[in-house]
Amino acid sequence: GHRTPAVVPLWRVAMLFGKKEGGAVSWLLVCLGNPGIKYKDTRHNVGFHLAEALERRGDVKLNQLKFKALTGTALLGGAKVLVMKPQTMMNLSGIAVQQAANFYKIPPERILVAFDDVSLPVGKLRLRPGGSAGGHNGVKDIIARLGSNDFPRIKIGVGEKPRPDYDLADWVLGRTTGA
């Protein structure tokens, strides 16, 4: 039968991380967003917010610019993970993913992509093993450049648009705080 995917709080993802490193990078955690102050607190940048939360906890230092992304390594479930914040615009996120995947020889099944989802309540997560881009341009570019949609995803809820006539781009590029 069909099972409903798990929806879990964001802090649970952070709990998977440890502080030791060892061995070669065997996973990518790609946290999507748009670089620059203009987009800093937008709904579309919740992937970046996840990476920044891991950094604040001391799980990773995102202090290397590699593969057109800010990167750092962390331990996740015993595996060495390259955490990435692509520094291209969102719709070109696949460039960074493709470069890192090629360099470390990481298959799509070990590329975990975190991004905003307008169909989930604010702060809720949905884990998916793969699937379509669902209209998300960053995910669409990753699928195109990897030639596969078989990579796992962490969809982070940013809430639905307040009205059906509200422009989706205006909603996801809107601020998540009162600022």
Mention every residue, 6+ apart, whose C-beta is less than 8 A from residue 177: 41
The DSSP call for residue 54 is H
**Largest interatomic CA distance in the chain:** 50
Residue showing tokens 């579309």: 44
- Residue 59's nearest CA partner among 21, 87, 28, 96 is 21
- Enzyme catalytic residues: 44
